[in-house]
Amino acid sequence: MRPLLYWVMAGGLALSSCQAPSDVSHRHAPHDDESVTGPATRCERRPVELTERALRIHRSAILVDGHNDLPWRIRDKSESSFEDFDLAQHQEGMHTDIPRLRKGGVGAQFWAAWVPPESMREGGGARIALEQIDLIRRMAERYPETFELACSADDVVRIRRKGRIASLIGVEGGHAIENSLGVLRMFYDLGARYMTLTHTETTDWADSATDEARHQGLTPFGEEVVGEMNRLGMLVDVSHASYDVMRDVLRVSRAPVIASHSSAYAIAAHPRNIPDDVLRLIARNGGVVMVNFFSGFVEPEAAGMIDSVFETMEGLREKYPQEDEYRKAVRDWRRENPIPRGTVHTIVDHIDHIVKVAGIDHVGLGSDYDGCSVLPEQLEDVSGYPYITQELLNRGYSARNIHKILGGNLLRVLRGAEQVARDRKDLDRATQLP
């Protein structure tokens, strides 16, 4: 199912949650009635104002973001070359560049090595993953003052202490291993520290949240993949997977798991978000859910609209088999169907909910910057993270708990997975003795 991806990846028109231009007001004026009874409706929520105290807390944290799609943007924009593309300059039309990463106080970033699901039919998935891993590594080499490749939690702390941004690699889409544990092991050796089990399509061994369930969870080979990731010390990432896959992973994984870029289903009903029962299982597993910022997943009304987008896009695809005509039709459709954006308050609503259901130790941030088009107000790009810190402070979170959310929880989970790998390697060696 490519269409949603196109919607998500391509730039788009969006409404703020308080905007209701006359041409769409008949569809988007749902908040008026809420203001009569509701406590703080979205429209009553004021922009967050930064204070010195929040900035101090923010700067002393290690902010770890779980998912940024910049590597694919670079592949698209400059054919993976840094010759005519300078990340040290402001990049118009993108969410990420070095000046804004600095302004946002990012301490560590998982860069996505995304592999299009079409590769399952066309072949070459492992090659694309290798090229994206190569791009992330070259990016760190190109800007040694800013980035350094990190392969462990200790690396992240050490690199952050030097004032650099720790660059971690996350493979997005389990189809990238082309059903080979050998390929998985080589990804690990090249620095990959998480892999999402699926992207938008069901693979041979795991169902996707946004595709037909063919296996009702993980297949026996899928369980082997999880076991091998545990043995290696690669985080199992359940973002994009179906709920049955999430439950199977939480049954078989010996290490804490992550959802690198997923939000709370109870707040916004979209299958890419995580339901409360799974949030509780992730808490029991010791894992972390890193909240996605994409308006289409976090704004309740937008989530409903996005959910039906699949069918609309499939319809347009059938009607316009030519790619450029199809893209134009999608653009037109989006212009006529803008989604509400939400604000930084919306993101903190998701954090609050996960804290309530799973606990303070099981929530983090996984923005999806440069992988989505529509973002909440004050979180338009990677410079916006301090507003989250401010709003958490405004809602009464302590500095210690804010640090957990910003990155401490993810570092604990990564250390946990590293420990399981050490234990299992000893065990495997022991069983190989004559």
Alpha helix positions (H), 85-180: 98-103, 119-122, 125-142, 153-161
Choosing from 65, 69, 207, 352, which is the catalytic residue? 69
Active site residue 332: no
Choosing from 65, 172, 237, 391, which is the catalytic residue? 172
Active site residue 92: no
Active site residue 345: no
The CA distance from 301 to 115, in Å, is 29
Q: Is residue 324 exposed (0-12), middle (13-18) or buried (19+ Cβ within 10 Å)?
A: exposed
CB 424 within 8 A of CB 231: yes
The CA distance from 418 to 403, in Å, is 21
Choosing from 240, 270, 345, 403, which is the catalytic residue? 240
The CA distance from 85 to 326, in Å, is 29
Question: Which letter does DSSP use for residue 404 in this model?
Answer: I
What's the Cα-to-Cα distance from 125 to each of 37, 97, 180, 332, rounded to whole Å? 52, 27, 12, 32
Active site residue 368: yes
What φ, ψ does residue 66 adopt, rounded to 5°? Answer: -80, -15
Active site residue 86: no
Choosing from 368, 370, 381, 418, which is the catalytic residue? 368
CB 339 within 8 A of CB 305: yes
* Rg value, the chain, Cα: 21
Amino acid identity for residue 156 in this structure: V
Active site residue 261: yes
Choosing from 28, 95, 175, 199, which is the catalytic residue? 199
| Contacts of residue 280, Cβ cutoff 8 Å, sequence gap at least 6 | 357, 358
Q: Is residue 320 exposed (0-12), middle (13-18) or buried (19+ Cβ within 10 Å)?
A: middle
Q: Is residue 323 exposed (0-12), middle (13-18) or buried (19+ Cβ within 10 Å)?
A: exposed
Quote the Cα angle for 356-380-102, to 5°.
Answer: 95
Burial 146-180 (b: 16+ CB within 10 A, else e): bbbbbbbbebbeebbeeebbbbbbbbbbbbbbbee
Choosing from 67, 95, 175, 403, which is the catalytic residue? 67
| Residue 290 tokens, joined | 């890193």
Instruction: Detail the DSSP E strand segments found in 146-267.
Output: 147-149, 165-172, 192-196, 235-237, 258-259
| Contacts of residue 331, Cβ cutoff 8 Å, sequence gap at least 6 | 10
Active site residue 67: yes
416 Ramachandran zone, left/alpha/beta (phi>0; psi -120 to 50): alpha
Active-site annotation, residues: 67, 69, 172, 199, 240, 261, 368
